[in-house]
Chains A and B, each alone.
Chain A
Amino acid sequence: MAYSDKVVDHYNNPRNVGTLDKSSTEVGTGLVGAPECGDVMRLQIRVNPETQVIEEAKFKTFGCGSAIASSSLATEWVKGKTVEEAMAIKNTDIVKELALPPVKIHCSVLAEDAIRAAIGDWKVKNGVKEQVAETAAAN
């Protein structure tokens, strides 16, 4: 299968790889997917408590090149956004940006789930009452 240049670029130079302190109240962690399915994404955000702006985002992903690229892109996109703005990121935006083929759409769904799960975790920690992000329900 041929990968798009953007997928190859994220694969070769993944952005924001790493780990944030998940015990910090400023940090939200989303862990989605399952090893059996061949995809696990962990996306973490550090949110400024005053402004609710996501100041830092980190990820680690076990999965194919498209899964790695989707989560790498997700960290780039959430950075600098407020929590509410980040909630608006859709998997279809990721599909478009990375030119993912139909068989890889689930990778983008997982990345959206990871964003929502991380924000959900942060909201729970900070007592923000609203809908709790659902975890992976793709495919």
Chain B
Amino acid sequence: MIRTESPTAKGVKLPIYMDNHATTQLDPRVLEAMMPYLTETFGNAASRNHAFGWEAEVGVETAREQIAKLIGATAKEIIFTSGATEGNNLAIKGVAEMYKERGNHIITQVTEHKAVLDTCKRMEKYGYRVTYLPVNKDGLIEMEDLKRAMDDKTILVSIMFANNEIGTVQPVAEIGKLCHEKGVVFHTDAVQAVGKIPVDVNAMNIDILTLSGHKIYGPKGVGAMYVRRRNPRVQIAAQIDGGGHERGMRSGTLNVPGIVGLGKACEIARVEMAAEAEREIKMRDHLKEKFEKALDYVHVNGSWEHRLPGNLNMSFVYVEGESLLMGINDVAVSSGSACTSATLEPSYVLKALGLGDDVAHSSIRFGLGRFNTPEEVDYVADKVIDIVQKLRELSPLYEMVKEGIDLSKIEWAAH
């Protein structure tokens, strides 16, 4: 992507990337760490009888340490995967298979990523019982609901750490504590949380955790899982059979350069996370304040208090999301509007908050990250405000509301 200097905003290069929940830019320091493993250090980490293999193994084991350190685990508890979709599949299917003698009940919640929800749906076909907990208007599960859902057949609770659309951070420590009291395996999809907010698998009683490289300024196509080895020891049945790599849990030749990059990304995150979060929160709050100052009928989706530093999900009511994106085509953000999805359905996450479809259609997700600048935030804010105002001039709904008409009283001809 060629980015060129904005003619109007000094120091701002266009297009601006502000969609860091979707993916992140590879940190140059990560690329630097990977380069030798993409070139001369090309060995197979499983080759035990020559130096090429040994060097690759050193790279992999260093990465294991770096990842473990970021989440308070030990290196032996880290399993490499191709990414979080594989990790979530392996966690749920692997636990379900391993613990099927003990029970057949899985608990998850409605705003999980599709990698969890669709895996759970498949497990239902295989005879497992799945409870999908609701969330409140802030996007949080209620601990009482979780307690009530548990029974003597419950083998797994899978609740995400932080949501990819609304940035809502679930009460993971409380969930972990309850699961351990009940002797239930606790898995968390921590793709959006690791490297952004503190994660400690022991303090939070997490048994299995999935993470991904490309969400934390690492490479795509590589991820890792934490699988608890003690207090209690957790086992998962392999879903990919072969050479018995990764303690037999995930066969397949290791993606050495990817793994080295993931390790480096974790190390950078561990050192820089606190300062980075503070910076992102400042930019995020500034963005929100600018919108609230300039526009009426805007509101934040998801809990403001329990939220990822870089996430702002906002509905610009009476403006349809895709038309808004069209007007800010030099800014990369995403929308919960149906028109931007393959299914033509508005975001199921926003609907789960109890928002009307109309509000879901009006939502934009801003995902701030390491490489965003305050100048970019100002540019994006001004641009969005300008386009929202233009589109509201065009919006019959905005006009009607301004005239005092209650839109819910109109009989719309649904199509």
Contact = CB atoms under 8 A, between A and B. Distances in A.
Contact of B414 (A14, A19, A36, A41): A36
Interface in A95-132: 103, 106, 109-110, 113
Contacts of B396: 31, 40-42, 60-62
Nearest to A44: B396
Nearest to B344: A103
A136 B358 contact: no
Interface string A28-64: 0001111111111110000000000000000011111
B337 A38 contact: yes
B126 interface: no
B357 A38 contact: yes
Given A62-B319, A63-B320, A64-B323, A35 B407 contact: yes
B415 interface: yes
A139 interface: yes
A62 B395 contact: yes
B414 A37 contact: yes
Interface in B397-411: 397-399, 407, 410
A38 B361 contact: yes
By DSSP majority rule, is chain A's interface helix, strand, loop, or mixed? mixed
Contacts of B394: 14, 17, 60-62, 68
Nearest to A38: B361
B322 A65 contact: yes
Contacts of B398: 62
Nearest to A135: B413
Contact of B413 (A3, A68, A137): A137
A88 interface: no
B318 to A, nearest CB: 6
Residue of A32, A35, A110, A136 with most chain B CB atoms under a 10 A cut-off: A35
Residue of B344, B395, B413 with most chain A CB atoms under a 10 A cut-off: B413
Contacts of B361: 35, 38
Interface in A1-29: 3, 8, 11, 14, 17, 19
B56 to A, nearest CB: 42
A17 B413 contact: no
Nearest to A107: B339
Nearest to B359: A35
Interface in B365-415: 393-399, 407, 410, 412-415
Contacts of B244: none
A139 B339 contact: no
A117 to B, nearest CB: 9
B156 interface: no
A38 B415 contact: no
A42 B395 CA distance: 9
Contacts of A67: 320, 323
B68 interface: no
A138 B326 contact: no
Nearest to A61: B394
Contacts of A31: 396, 410
B356 A64 contact: no
Residue of B320, B395, B414 with most chain A CB atoms under a 10 A cut-off: B320
20 contacts: A3-B326, A8-B326, A11-B327, A34-B412, A34-B414, A36-B356, A36-B412, A37-B414, A38-B322, A38-B346, A38-B357, A39-B320, A39-B415, A40-B397, A61-B395, A67-B320, A68-B323, A109-B415, A110-B415, A136-B413
Interface of A: 3, 8, 11, 14, 17, 19, 31-42, 60-65, 67-68, 103, 106, 109-110, 113, 135-139
Closest 9 CB pairs of A and B: A34-B412, A35-B358, A36-B357, A42-B396, A60-B396, A64-B322, A38-B361, A135-B413, A136-B415
Interface of B: 318-323, 326-327, 337-339, 344, 346, 356-358, 361, 393-399, 407, 410, 412-415
Given A60-B394, A68-B394, 14 more contacts: A17-B394, A32-B415, A34-B415, A35-B358, A36-B357, A39-B320, A40-B396, A60-B396, A60-B399, A61-B396, A62-B396, A65-B322, A67-B323, A139-B415
